[in-house]
Structure 1
Amino acid sequence: MKDNGSSRRATMLRHVTLAATTALIIGSFDGLWAARGSVYSPLLLAGLGAGTLAVTGAFVGLLQAALLFLVEPIVKRCGLRRRWQAAMSSDAKGDRRPVVAFHAWVASAVVVSTPLLLGFAALLKRSERIKEVALRDAVLVMGAAGALITVLVVSAMVRPIFESACKRLDGSWGLPRPRSQLLRYVLFVAVPAGLLLVPMFTEFGVKLGILAAPFALALFFAAEGLLWRLTQTLARKRREPGGRSGALLVRSWTGLLVVAVVISIALFEIWPQASAAIAAGRVTPSAAAWLQRITDVDRDGVSSLFGGGDCAAFDASRAPTLAEIPNNRIDEDCDGFDATAAQVLPELAPYYGQLSGSQKKRYNVLLLVVDSLRPDHLSAYGYNKRTSPYIDELAKDAWLFTRAYSQSSTTALSMPSMLSGRRPSTMQWKGGYPEAISSEQMLPEVLGQEGYDTRLAVNRYVVRHLKGLQRDFQQVVSVPEGADWKSGDYIISNVVSAVEDAKRSGRPFFITAHFDDVHHPYRAHRGKSVPSFPSLQRDISAYDRCIANFDNMLRFLGSYLEQAEVWNDTIVILTADHGEEFEEHGGTIHSRTCYVESVQVPLIVRIPGFEPQRISSRVALTDLVPTLIEALSLPADRFPVDGQSLFIPALAPGTAPADRPIFCSVFQLMSGRKNFFIRSVRTEKHALIYESLSERIELYDVVADPRESRNIASSNPDIVEDLRRLLGASATGNLWEARRFQ
């Protein structure tokens, strides 16, 4: 007779082997899925996915075995195994009450849960509008808990109805049916779980939010149970499970699992494209990310295994996300060599330095930021639909920059960058929803110290989330509850009030107004008198109408500024915090990529006394702060800016560096999205987009391919390497650590 220790070891080995095998099968199919439409071998990806998931499954099996050891005494004490056997009894002469009661409960639960599942699916769909991760997760958890409680309560109420039906079925056919345990499991567990959960994942995927993990585990356990029933059936058909052939089979299969795991780890080590290759999978990328987290020994945010790329597993001062220090004989960023001084960022002169005394004064400043506004949907930028007649008029009296880029495709990073003149990748951030630390110098704080009346006019979403953006303004004014995403009228009213207050106080003003009227869900135009702009994509049509609606509101504001006699003393800047996606690269909305449609923004700057012109030099939103420092004659030594004054491309275009690199950073901020961390660098000829978690690299020739549709990274390794070094040199802040708030 085996001792207790041997029995426990056998149980643990069985659970680990079973869970790893189940995960291996899932990983194989996931690898084949990832290979669809890719250039990689399906067999190679199937092996990579199988080994990666097998490791994850082994961990799950260990947890299963440990949980079983903990609950086993409770199961024995409560007689749960005996009750289950009674409910599954096929003895027609025995007590049939447990059999009838159990089947009645199952039938009533299935009937009650079906409409509730449809309702929960509707809740999932509507909850996509909730942008705060914690709030959306709370809504989903409460919805799932409410559905579960409802199933239990209502099932108990209607079970007597089903008991009579199940009693008749038991008398006629004899329950349980079918007699085969394997077939019963397939019909009543595996198939329902697949029909309920697989479509849920197919439809919503990571949009399940906090429920994705428990739903995935439920589906995994259903598959694992099916595999267990299948092996038990096969074992009974051969010989008793404890025989030597059974033990040999278990050991042999365990050895094959170990081989698969070793091959997977080796592929991640020797194949640089491994992480990028599996990125299209549904399960493997998340499993690899989880394995990277638990194998990150030095806690620097990067593992040396499973594609993490850490070249020093026990040294937190060396990782692919760290900035390289030139000529110190240390490879900080794990690119294989130490950088030289020539590999750091090219020096960028921040100021023009030749403005006359009459050209510099204490102007008022009105910074108008339109969330998600793309320049190629404005008629001033050549759009073939007249969406923005007033903006067209404004542009004729201002500097219009045809190639301006934001430093992120999410407001949370773009706005602090815009108001500090620094790239997100060079700034220091707090954990949690990204917020610049207090020592990061912001323009409104300095203007307040210089005697300006500083105001921020925003919607309630910004008030709730962008705390760091608000702290440097003397006053923050918002809109009524429920007005978000159509609040332009209130924002305009708040701007007018701020101008009037500044006039009464005799102080110059700095007003930043952040408009949400062009933001998804593109409904601000409803009920307004704006033209229609037909399009094959309904969202684009609504988006254009929202732009036209905003343009009407902006005309009113412009008329007011002229009548209030502040127009000729006010610098007016119209721009956006980022662009918007309409499936150019498969995505929609924003906050997820650094492609051109997500980062190219309109930039119209009117400074009294300067001649209007169209300027084709590439510029960044980090250029606004040095421009205002020069125009307002502020102390330049207080701002360690990354940008360059717009006076240089406007007044001395020959001195503006043609191949200036412009950077973008964005990471996962929204609920229901895969984890990602994307950085990009743009030069005159190329754009490199790098996803740090999967190490996916894309390179585009922006001259020949301005829409960035043809990835030429594989055929241009030297250009990729040069641009990656620029990316590494630009990452001197702590954005990598800050993004781990989630």
Structure 2
Amino acid sequence: MSSHPDTGTADDGHRQAENADSTVLSAIKSLAHEQSDATDFDTAEPEHVILLSVDALRADHLGCHGYHRDVSPTIDHLATAGIQFSRAYSPSSHTREAVPALLSGQYPSTATTDRFRRNTQTIGHLLQGTTARSAGIHSNPFVSEGFGFGDGFDHFDDDMLVGGHWLTALAQRAVDKLRNRHYARAETITDRGIEFLRSQAVEGGRPTFTWLHYMDVHGPYEPPAEFRRRYVADRVTDAEAARLYKRAIAEPDSLTEREQQLLVDLYDAEIRYLDANIGRLLDELSRLGIRDETLILLTADHGEAFGERGYYEHPRFLPHELTHVPLIATGAGIHSREAIRAPVSTLDVAPTVADVFGVEYDGPGKSLAATTDQPDPYRVVFAQARGEGEDTGIHRYAGYRAGGVAYAEVDTETDERVFDAGVQLTLKARLDAHIDTDGYIGATDAGQSEARDVGQTENEGAEDDVAHRLRALGYVE
């Protein structure tokens, strides 16, 4: 079995075991005081819901999570004005599993096939048959129409040639190539979202669900010059930044401390740029006259590593820096309160949206409104990641709770399970049970057929376009 960079040494494990009971008891006692008699999250109030997901945004690079740099004033304000779930975890460490889980409220083992095609219903499907109009707007090829993710949405713009507005996408792609841009920047995603809301929420008078997925924080980190100058002392071209990012992934040991800091500086500049555009989105909602009617949910699909465990970017491991993500609810139906420290998952977004629009949801997620009313200090949330390359036969799991975390690797050929040293016995048992009941048991033939049919009908002849995007983002050579 492969080594597991998420775990520490054996001595570390013994020390964890010695302190585990007192740590967990202390954490749970502290969380027990979070319950509130007031209703701080009323799902009956919102007319519209906007889900803002940010690719590769780790929680601890935001001011509301204690970051030392002022990179996120708008997001920090949303956290103060709303409800921040400070122990939120993604169910995976990379987009191909994390976003499908976010959109469906199902673990990756259920949400996608082995080929990472959509394998279950998303929020778009849940809202069919209601008066609400739904939109998905982004430029990540892994959750594009070609992988089946446009199905269910009334409006879907993935910025690909096979997407909804192909003329717009074509023109945008031409401009992107000239500017060395390989995804739609935050201005573009925001503009497209506002146009949808103007046509449906304002002019059409309909309730809406709008999912905007921002790629700007994802590497290679190439922030606009105005924001780069705030954090980067030396002049760095986009081409140089891209080369450094790719070298960090391929040869992590070759980076100097200065180069490592440069990556962090560029990453922070991207966050500040994104934050400014979220501020612009809020201003536009006010101009449209719907801000007070709109619930905003802000989160990330996963985090990002900067050499903490010997790797960069977001490979398929499950440490906190890759799975601990921001999760904020603000706007209509929300009354400001102290941060909720009980563990939650981004799987909880789908049942929250279902609550707002009065539709049924069946899955492992729990509505954030219910958590706000009664935080569960004993809850364990899980994450999963399929291995890749030489680790293709390995499936990784993690269980997070207040005061503890457990990791496991499973060899899919032998079912051998290896848990990290020093893990608390009760948490190990919970994680073991999760592996038994919700592990990667394989997608159903029906699910694979459905997703494959979607891919063939919607994406036939577009593989080159998808491959170009993936190469540009550093996923493939």
TM-score by length of 2: 0.70
Corresponding residue to 1:384 among 49, 68, 90 = 68
SS of equivalent residue, structure 1 residue 441:
coil
1:386-431: CA deviation from partner (whole Å, max 9, x where unpaired)? 0111111222211111100011112121122112222223x16434
Amino acid at match of 1:666: A
Q: Is it true that 1:652 corresponds to 2:332 in the alignment?
A: no
Tell me, in whole angstroms, the C-alpha distance in 2 between the residues paired with 1:530 and 1:499.
33
**Structure 1 residue 488 displacement after superposition:** 1.4
SS of equivalent residue, structure 1 residue 690:
strand
Name the counterpart of 2:217: 518
Name the counterpart of 1:430: 113
1:687-731: CA deviation from partner (whole Å, max 9, x where unpaired)? 2222223957343xxxxxxxxxxx535xx6776455323332332
Amino acid at match of 1:430: T
Corresponding residue to 1:690 among 408, 416, 427 = 408
CA contact (8 A) 1:681 1:727 kept: no
Amino acid at match of 2:203: R
**Structure 1 residue 591 displacement after superposition:** 3.8
Amino acid at match of 2:126: V
Structure 2 CA distance for partners of 1:631 and 1:553, relative to 1, 3 Å = same
**Structure 1 residue 683 displacement after superposition:** 2.6
Name the counterpart of 2:285: 561
Tell me, in whole angstroms, the C-alpha distance in 1 between the residues paired with 2:143 and 2:348.
25
**Structure 1 residue 586 displacement after superposition:** 1.6
**Structure 1 residue 615 displacement after superposition:** 1.2
**Structure 1 residue 674 displacement after superposition:** 4.4
Name the counterpart of 2:270: 546
Tell me, in whole angstroms, the C-alpha distance in 2 between the residues paired with 1:412 and 1:357.
30
Amino acid at match of 1:586: G
Name the counterpart of 1:580: 304
Tell me, in whole angstroms, the C-alpha distance in 1 between the residues paired with 2:224 and 2:214.
13
Corresponding residue to 2:182 among 484, 501, 510 = 484
Name the counterpart of 1:366: 50
Tell me, in whole angstroms, the C-alpha distance in 2 between the residues paired with 1:628 and 1:463.
20
1:192-237: CA deviation from partner (whole Å, max 9, x where unpaired)? xxxxxxxxxxxxxxxxxxxxxxxxxxxxxxxxxxxxxxxxxxxxxx
Tell me, in whole angstroms, the C-alpha distance in 2 between the residues paired with 1:683 and 1:521.
32
CA contact (8 A) 1:369 1:515 kept: yes
Name the counterpart of 2:141: 461
Tell me, in whole angstroms, the C-alpha distance in 2 between the residues paired with 1:402 and 1:367.
18
CA contact (8 A) 1:454 1:474 kept: yes
1:61-86: CA deviation from partner (whole Å, max 9, x where unpaired)? xxxxxxxxxxxxxxxxxxxxxxxxxx
SS of equivalent residue, structure 2 residue 372:
helix
Name the counterpart of 1:91: none
Q: Is it true that 1:598 corresponds to 2:306 in the alignment?
A: no
SS of equivalent residue, structure 1 residue 728:
helix
CA contact (8 A) 2:137 2:192 kept: yes
Q: Is it true that 1:643 corresponds to 2:325 in the alignment?
A: no
Name the counterpart of 1:295: none
Amino acid at match of 1:470: G
Summarize the alignment of residues 144-293 of structure 1 with structure 2, pairs less than 5 Å apart: 275=1
Name the counterpart of 1:472: 152
Name the counterpart of 2:254: none
Corresponding residue to 2:352 among 612, 627, 640 = 627
SS of equivalent residue, structure 1 residue 627:
helix
Amino acid at match of 2:94: T
Tell me, in whole angstroms, the C-alpha distance in 1 between the residues paired with 2:276 and 2:333.
26
Q: Is it true that 1:727 corresponds to 2:435 in the alignment?
A: yes
Summarize the alignment of residues 297-312 of structure 1 with structure 2, pairs less than 5 Å apart: none
**Structure 1 residue 467 displacement after superposition:** 2.1
**Structure 1 residue 460 displacement after superposition:** 5.3
1:127-167: CA deviation from partner (whole Å, max 9, x where unpaired)? xxxxxxxxxxxxxxxxxxxxxxxxxxxxxxxxxxxxxxxxx
TM-score by length of 1: 0.46
CA contact (8 A) 1:415 1:469 kept: no
Identity of aligned residues (%): 24
1:67-107: CA deviation from partner (whole Å, max 9, x where unpaired)? xxxxxxxxxxxxxxxxxxxxxxxxxxxxxxxxxxxxxxxxx
In structure 1, the gaps of 5 or more residues are 1-274, 281-351, 700-710
**Structure 1 residue 628 displacement after superposition:** 2.1
In structure 2, the gaps of 5 or more residues are 6-35, 160-168, 234-256, 453-477
CA contact (8 A) 1:428 1:734 kept: no
CA contact (8 A) 1:369 1:514 kept: yes
Structure 2 CA distance for partners of 1:616 and 1:472, relative to 1, 3 Å = same
Tell me, in whole angstroms, the C-alpha distance in 1 between the residues paired with 2:371 and 2:143.
35
SS of equivalent residue, structure 2 residue 127:
helix
Q: Is it true that 1:418 corresponds to 2:102 in the alignment?
A: yes
Q: Higher helix proportion, which one?
A: 1
Q: Which has the larger radius of gyration?
A: 1
Corresponding residue to 1:661 among 380, 403, 408 = 380
CA contact (8 A) 1:429 1:734 kept: no
The runs of at least 4 consecutive aligned structure 1 residues that moved more than 6 Å come to 354-358, 736-739
SS of equivalent residue, structure 2 residue 134:
strand
Q: Is it true that 1:401 corresponds to 2:90 in the alignment?
A: no
Tell me, in whole angstroms, the C-alpha distance in 1 between the residues paired with 2:400 and 2:293.
35
CA contact (8 A) 2:406 2:431 kept: yes
